A and B are shown apart, each in its own frame.
Chain A
């Protein structure tokens, strides 16, 4: 025990605020049903009287359990998603931390010790005699975590912002200072909200500006989600690139692949400082066929190669990975399909596992034609590249020969590498790659090829997608992992777009060397998830399975605590040592009056006599003292030989009409 008395930090969250935060989180991360369950559990704790006597040891157990789950979650998320795993962890925080808030709400004392939260504090009371193990109510921090976790959903920013403003106002109303008029409070909040609205737009704009100038490690986080407007490459990133082994696509071609199958997702035409962007945003909606699940990309669906592709989409809008020369997309449960000006296919579909068939053939000509941007090089690189093109003699060669010249050039002089250690000035990386280091990863090769071909006058586009080569014996089909994401170029030669991939072919092998030994576990897990989702039609997110396992563990924990507490509750408490005296006069009509006063909100302290209490209330109820009812009541109660009857008291009560009905006993 410490010498300093304990204090409780942080007030309790306003009623229903935490459930509201949970619902916000559930909506944004599409786990509504779970969120509703959690909210109901928490609210019922508030409503009914059944509470557990939880002490420090119990809370420590809950926290240790939560820490264990947290560690497992972190490992799981980072393993599966790589660096973007941090956002997955963020979105799962309310679930991971739920046992702690649940324990707090169901406990009689309603708050936790700081030492339960921080293990380092558990030993401090031995070391430091002045250390006080203060208590903390975690309901508001939990609410804040729910709101920030909800932000991971990244859906409907306008509505999210409004809801957050509303919930924050609700929270702040509960903790406001009653010194000021509510109008002042409202004005301040309105100003802050308005400024915040402008501010958050400004932040996005600021980031856009910064990103255009600086390329950094961060950009690798983007790789998880394809954006048809922009692709930030890792050109200029320092360090070694790592990709996860997570299986992204599953491909079942009708015939075994003789060479790697390139599935394109998007293409771009404007390059600057490590980022490829699409200047043009035009798109064309393609109507589905009569069956509603087929889309024809050319008038006759003449592509005679077939493949079935299965992929996971966590958003309802995505770029579809399709082979070059796709003529038709079949059996796709999509709401809308558009073809972008760069021949990329954008769809609106139901999130989750989706499967579709493609009809394709390499020789099919795609409808888009080159635009001016397809020749753009940019001032920074123009001179050097033109020099290089001239050195290679590209100006004197026909386009086809120019292409082979470029291919040979890269093939003979360049190596594949995932590592870049040296830092260069911004904009210099490409030239260092071309003229000095001569090593890099696929983005370098593709970008350099594109710009080189453009300097030779050939319109070229930068394409991103996957290169499928790996066959999974376990699943009996081809799989594309995250690390099989690839970049290449398409060049406009002889009135068609030709695919050119100058990245050394060994890249797939090199990447697979980095494969972890536990890959087979995650592959199995991934297959399991696919199977379970294929079997049932659920709208839950992929974390679902993981979620249910944790929920199961949590139930076990709860049961164990419950059983322990039940045993403790059974021990009878010693009876009250205060003996009950023989009481007289308990039928005094004044008690009704007292009850009514208390209902109005005036409470009597336990040691306060009636006379003292009524005197204190005499400002509000002057008739209480004047009527003489206290003296009569006291006489009735405490005089062993009292002449007073209840009727006398009721009569006196007539003189205090607001409190008493005119009923006479």
Chain B
């Protein structure tokens, strides 16, 4: 009951705050604060002269508000977004503003707007914010920081504007904004607000331009550097990653004369017959590595944070593997089983990240479908990277099944942290170092330790 009341107050507070910030300039807010302070100290007009200051500032603000009517203009805006962005990384983009009018426009400001909806009470109540346990008791019980976080998440990003500018008649201006996306997926832009200050510079009048656009945001990822995964060729006698067929192959290079010591099976008999001297087929050892990336999408406990970190881990591996010129098979189960093939002629890295940006957590148990798919593919891949959201009996049996088929498996298990969870290493008894625990609280560090575990000895 109290919480609902608090929630309504928060909504009021939030809306009031937004109304103030959209109407007043930074300087205007400062003058407003000064007026309120003067009012407080000037409450007793006999004790101080502060009421004079209050009166002056109050009327200045009133006059400014009265003089800021609507903003009529014929300006057009175009947004030039990059192809994609990454969660947590600031990205710069441009707004092209054109003035077809004869009138010069001086001192304009631009605000690019992302879609923001205020959450319902149900959503707020159900929210579990992982950052909460670090906040003090008051913040946790009242819940205001949690609500603010939720709103920020739903908006999807922060946009920092590029300051004031002027536009001559029939002129064009390139206005740079910096956007920092908060999470992966699609960011929705709703429109652009053009702001014109009043003569005193305290209050804005705005004109809104609808400009809907979407930007794809890749998941947050960690730089894993050069991976030396089990199953890749470390000690090959020679060869380059060039073949178009998977696995070891010997590619025909050319014919040459026989030299002492060449294996007899390599003699090209037809040429020998014609020339009367032995002729050897020269081969070139080559190989191609195919890796499987399995992403667990079912998290029974309902904490989406684990799944998000799982996607981040998958993205990190995808980037590291594809950059090393391997073929990557991404597998995950949702409503049906999905399998995507990237690298070397099929999907590009960007496509793979796009898929990972949009993958959703699953509401129901799909471990069996995942297992079936992995088993089917196991003959083609040299190594499996499994990103799991838990290390329970079901998942351990999945790993055991894969091991029984002779697959080399690298397991990444996402745990809440900050303490290390006890994990049973029996499915990976021969290589216990391939069971890596990544804690949410130390995500970057734990994930990068994979390079150390699998690197050259």
Contacts and interface: CB of A to CB of B under 8 A. Distances in A.
Contacts of A307: none
A160 B52 CA distance: 9
Contacts of A279: none
Contact of B49 (A160, A165, A179, A180): A160
Interface in A180-234: 180, 184-185, 188-189, 191-193, 195-197, 199-200, 203-204, 207, 218, 221-222
A185 B106 contact: no
B48 A11 contact: no
B455 interface: no
Of residues B49, B67, B107, which shows the largest number of chain A Cβ atoms within 10 Å of its Cβ?
B49
Interface string B34-53: 10011001111111111111
B152 interface: yes
Contacts of B54: 200, 203
Given A3-B180, A179-B107, A221-B47, A148 B27 contact: no
Interface stretch (B58-66, B383-391, B446-454): B58-66
B107 to A, nearest CB: 5
A165 B180 CA distance: 42
Q: Majority SS of interface residues in chain A?
A: helix
Contact of A144 (B34, B47, B49, B60): B34
Interface string A136-175: 0000110010011011111001001100110010001001
Nearest to A150: B49
Contacts of B191: none
A184 B199 contact: yes
B201 to A, nearest CB: 4
B425 interface: no
Contacts of B51: 200, 203-204
Nearest to A144: B34
Interface in B92-128: 105-107
Given A3-B88, A168-B60, A175-B201, A152 B55 contact: no
B264 to A, nearest CB: 62
B340 interface: no
A161 B55 CA distance: 10
A154 B38 CA distance: 14
Given A7-B160, A127-B131, A203-B45, A192 B60 contact: yes
B211 interface: no
A4 B158 contact: yes
Contacts of A11: 27
A665 interface: no
Contact of A196 (B55, B64, B135): B55
Contacts of B88: 3, 129
Interface in A570-608: none
B250 to A, nearest CB: 50
B334 interface: no
B134 interface: yes
A161 B52 contact: yes
A10 B25 CA distance: 10
A189 B62 CA distance: 11
Contacts of A203: 42, 45, 51, 54-55
Given A130-B158, A178-B107, A199-B58, A10 B30 contact: yes
A196 B201 CA distance: 19
Contacts, number: 163
B143 interface: no
Interface in B133-160: 134-135, 145, 149, 152, 158, 160
A495 interface: no
A179 B152 CA distance: 34
Given A195-B59, A207-B44, A172 B53 contact: no
A524 interface: no
Contacts of A256: none
Contact of A175 (B27, B90, B160): B27
Contacts of B60: 168, 172, 189, 192, 196
Given A9-B26, A177-B198, A207 B67 contact: no
Contacts of A177: 106-107, 196-201
B106 A178 contact: yes
A154 B52 contact: no
Interface of A: 3-5, 7, 9-11, 28, 84, 87, 90, 126-130, 140-141, 144, 147-148, 150-154, 157, 160-161, 164-165, 168, 172, 175-180, 184-185, 188-189, 191-193, 195-197, 199-200, 203-204, 207, 218, 221-222
Given A128-B145, A154-B47, A193-B56, 19 more contacts: A4-B90, A10-B30, A148-B38, A152-B49, A153-B49, A160-B52, A161-B52, A168-B56, A172-B201, A177-B106, A177-B107, A177-B200, A192-B59, A192-B63, A193-B59, A196-B52, A197-B55, A203-B45, A203-B55
18 contacts: A7-B160, A130-B158, A148-B53, A151-B42, A154-B47, A165-B56, A172-B60, A175-B201, A176-B201, A179-B105, A179-B107, A184-B199, A192-B60, A192-B62, A195-B63, A196-B60, A200-B56, A204-B46
